[in-house]
Amino acid sequence: MRALSLWQPHAAAIALELKPWETRSAVHWSTSYRGPLAIHAAKRPWNEGDEWHQLAGAALGCRIVELIVKAFPDIDEDQRKRANVALRDRVLVFGAVVCVVDLVDCSPTSKLRGKISAEHEFWGDFSDGEDGRGRVAFKLENMRLLAAPLPWRGMQGWFDVALDGEPSREAPIPEQMGLFGGSK
């Protein structure tokens, strides 16, 4: 399966359905490919303690709590804390494939600016790029979490990963979580 490596927290944001657009330089990344795409979290973290990373961490934390409460409304606080750690450990990893999405479109960012939500723009660079030659945005839909992160050596550019069958999207993300090894 075709794969793309991203720095964290971007891979986790896709896995948690916060980031439906991945932006890249138009010079090297415009593509006609449509289909399943494995999302790989880069081995090294993006080490910047700036305001954006603080906001991103808060957004991920809020989304994790939201998903746990939706999936497991009747669990107690101790179980909720364990579920929070389990979900973080599932998506906020390094050097592993965390989910599969469908790449359904590739659009110039200039056509999207001001037309998508501020929440979605937060997770990408919708400018014309540092060199002014433009950027593209991959539209990502139908996210499927892997049962567990799959350790894999990522690389720059498109690359291939071998998954034992493609994860299915039989249920919304809260029902995919299976955080305790059983059903909710």
Burial of 119 (0-12, 13-18, 19+ CB in 10 A): exposed
pLDDT recorded at residue 131: 80
Superfamily of domain 2-176: Hypothetical protein. (2.30.130.30)
With 50 as the cut, is the pLDDT of residue 154 above it?
yes
Strands 2-6 and 21-25: unpaired
pTM reported for the whole predicted model: 0.87
pLDDT tens per residue, range 102-140: 999 999 999 999 899 999 999 999 988 878 788 999 999
Residues in CB range of 4: below 8 A, 6 or more apart: 22, 37, 38, 39, 40, 158
Q: By the 8 A CB rule, do 174 and 17 touch? A: no
Among 85, 87, 99, residue whose Cα is nearest residue 6: 99
In the chain, what are the domain boundaries? Answer: 2-176
With 90 as the cut, is the pLDDT of residue 149 above it?
yes
pLDDT tens per residue, range 172-184: 455 555 544 433 3
* Residue 28 backbone phi and psi in degrees, to 5: -110, -15
pLDDT tens per residue, range 34-93: 999 999 999 987 777 789 999 999 999 999 999 999 988 999 999 999 999 999 999 999
* Residue 13: band (very low, low, confident or very high) from pLDDT cuts 50, 70, 90: very high
Q: By the 8 A CB rule, do 21 and 123 touch? A: yes
| 3 state DSSP class of 77 | helix
* Residue 163: band (very low, low, confident or very high) from pLDDT cuts 50, 70, 90: confident
Residues in CB range of 181: below 8 A, 6 or more apart: none
pLDDT recorded at residue 44: 86
